Amino acid sequence: MHGFSYKNGSLFCENIDLSTLVAEHGTPLYVYSAGTILDHYTRLDAALGSTDHEVAYAVKANSNLSVLRLLASHGAGFDIVSGGELFRVIKAGGDPAHCTFAGVGKTRDEIVYALQQGIYSFNVESEEELRYLNQVAGELGMIAPAAVRVNPNVDAKTHKYISTGKSENKFGVDFGAISDLYERAAKELKNIKLRGLQMHIGSQLTSIAPFIEAVEKVIPLVTELKARHGIEFWSIGGGIGIIYQESLKSGNADWWASQPENERPLTIEQYGKELVPRLKDLGLKILLEPGRYIVGNAGVLLTKCLYEKKGSAKTFKIVDAGMNDLIRPALYEGHHEIVPLVEPSSTERIKVDVVGPICESGDFFCQDRLLPDFNPGDYIALMSAGAYGFAMASNYNSRPLPAEILVEGGNATVIRKRQTLEDLIEGEH
Ligand code: LLP
Name the residue of 54, 60, 297 whose CB sits within 8 Å of the most ligand 1 atoms, as the mutation to test its pocket: 60
Q: Which ligand 1 atom is at minimum distance from the Cα of 289?
A: 9
**Tens-digit pLDDT profile for residues 43-91:** 999 999 989 999 999 999 999 999 999 999 999 999 999 999 999 999 9
Q: Which ligand 1 atom is at minimum distance from the Cα of 327?
A: 24
The catalytic residue among 13, 305, 359, 366 is 359
Q: Which residue segments constitute the domains of the chain, with CATH numbers given?
A: 4-30+297-424 (2.40.37.10), 34-295 (3.20.20.10)
pLDDT (mean) for 173-179: 96
Cα 204 to ligand 1 centroid, rounded to whole Å? 8
As a whole number, the mean pLDDT across the chain is: 96
The predicted pLDDT at position 346 comes to 93
SS3 per-residue string spanning the chain: CCCEEEECCEEEECCEEHHHHHHHHCCCEEEEEHHHHHHHHHHHHHHCCCCCEEEEEEHHHCCCHHHHHHHHCCCCEEEECCHHHHHHHHHCCCCHHHEEECCCCCCHHHHHHHHHHCCCEEEECCHHHHHHHHHHHHHCCCCEEEEEEEECCCCCCCCHHHECCCCCCCCCEEHHHHHHHHHHHHHHCCCEEEEEEECCCECCECCCHHHHHHHHHHHHHHHHHHHHHCCCEEECCCCECCCCCCCCHHHCHHHHHHCCHHHCCCCHHHHHHHHHHHHCCCCCEEEECCCHHHHHHHEEEEEEEEEEEECCCCEEEEECCCCCCCCHHHHHCCCCCEEECECCCCCCCEEEEEECCCCCCCCEEEEEEEECCCCCCCEEEECCCCCCCHHHCCCHHHCCCCEEEEEECCEEEEEECCCCHHHHCCCCC
The predicted pLDDT at position 19 comes to 98
Q: Residue 168 pLDDT > 80, yes or no?
A: no
The predicted pLDDT at position 169 comes to 78
Query: pTM for the whole thing?
Result: 0.97
The predicted pLDDT at position 267 comes to 92
**Tens-digit pLDDT profile for residues 217-275:** 999 999 999 999 999 999 999 999 999 998 899 898 888 888 877 777 789 999 999 99
The predicted pLDDT at position 379 comes to 98
Cα 291 to ligand 1 centroid, rounded to whole Å? 6
Name the residue of 78, 203, 240, 390 whose CB sits within 8 Å of the most ligand 1 atoms, as the mutation to test its pocket: 203
Cα 416 to ligand 1 centroid, rounded to whole Å? 23
**Tens-digit pLDDT profile for residues 98-118:** 999 999 999 999 999 999 999
Q: Is 359 a catalytic residue?
A: yes
Q: Which ligand 1 atom is at minimum distance from the Cα of 164?
A: 5
pLDDT (mean) for 143-163: 87
pLDDT (mean) for 281-297: 98
Residue nearest to atom 16 of ligand 1 (CA): 388
Cα 72 to ligand 1 centroid, rounded to whole Å? 19
